Amino acid sequence: MENQHSKHHDTEAGTVKDEDTVTGKRYRDIYHEFQPDKIAVHYHEKDEAFVYESENGLTLKVEVVSDDIFRFRYAPEGRFESGFSYATDPEARRSLPQVTAGGDSTHFFLRTSKAVCRILKENLQVSIFDAESEKLILQEEAPFYCRRTIMNGICQVKVTHKAWAGEAYFGMGDKTCSANLRGHKIQNWNTDSFSYKTGQDPLYRSIPFYYSVREGVAYGIFLNNSYRTHFDFDSEQRGATTFMADGGEMDYYFIYGPAAMDVARRYAWLTGRPELPPLWALGF
């Protein structure tokens, strides 16, 4: 019978070759993936904020900012960040709309005069409807996802929405692709891109906001996260649009129109308007 010890370590018994140790090598980081499961606890906080906690501790907070704006925040282990933001206007005071909260056997819902947010009890998936016509406006294609490693902490937070046939996407600031972003991947990370070319990304500016337009109805998504962010507008033609960040909290706003101009006005109200236009905008 072959001596197994001799086969693997041609050394004296009880010793190990130097090459069989990896004192200078970094092992792969250990990671943990988070996705919500069945809702275990839900309650109403002050100022029209509603909290839904799944059995594994992952928690969704929905803040009804106005009749047209919902804010969604996810905490993988139930602990939210302070909520401070450089991107939103502190003077954009919430209107504290009239909200009707309820539920049935499969969903919880939050209803304002303009929109209805439905939250699936099974895994916190979100869908939003027009309050009057009951038309489906937005639907999550997959549950929220978070990845955390031992060495780096949270390194990915991701939301996936369904990309409907005929749905078009616009926005994201200065980009070198077509105006309709569908079919493209875009990254936000301020980069000195002197003499950039068509298709080059990222560029100088990071604006994590886009419009969706489908069948004459528009809404906006504003990702309130200062980490490197990534947007995939159905680039693989699988009927899904994703946005993700390389860290921090998943914190985004849904801004309903239904007209695109309405979305623009509400986005400007949320993030702040300039005191005066820049001098160069008035001509020379």
The mean pLDDT of 124-144, rounded to a whole number, is: 98
Res. 43: pLDDT tops 60: yes
Top pLDDT among 40 and 223 is at 223
Cα separation, 35 vs 139, in Å, equals: 17
Q: Which two tokens stand for residue 167?
A: 């749905």
Q: Cα(199)–Cα(186) distance, rounded to whole angstroms?
A: 10
Where helices occur in 3-138 by DSSP H, the ranges are 4-8
Weakest mean pLDDT among 7-21, 159-173, 209-223, 241-255: 7-21
The single-letter DSSP state of residue 246 is S
Is pTM beyond 0.95 here? no
How many Å apart are CA 50 and CA 64, to the nearest integer? 8
> Average pLDDT in the 65-88 region?
92
Q: Which phi and psi angles does 221 have, rounded to 5°?
A: -120, 125
Q: For tokens 């906690």, what's the residue?
A: 53
Model confidence pLDDT, tens digit, residues 147-190? 999 988 999 999 999 999 999 999 998 888 899 999 999 999 98
Which residues make beta-bridge pairs with 126? 119
Every domain of the chain and the residues it spans: 28-80+95-272
CB 58 within 8 A of CB 36: yes
Q: What integer best gives the mean pLDDT of the chain? A: 89
What integer is the mean pLDDT of 125-133?
Answer: 98
The pLDDT of residue 2 is 44
> Tell me, what's the pLDDT at 9?
43
In tens, the pLDDT along 4-26 reads: 444 444 545 555 565 655 555 66
CATH label, 28-80+95-272, candidates 3.40.50.2300, 1.20.1050.10, 3.40.50.10190, 2.60.40.1760? 2.60.40.1760
Tens of pLDDT, residue by residue over 139-155, are: 999 999 999 999 889 99
The continuous run of DSSP H or E covering 261 comes out as helix 260-271
Specify the pLDDT at position 193. 80
What single DSSP character describes residue 40?
Answer: E
Task: Report d(CA 225, CA 208) in Å as an integer.
Answer: 8
CA dihedral 262, 110, 225, 54 (to 10 degrees): -160
Say if residue 266's pLDDT is above 80.
yes
Amino acid at 230: H
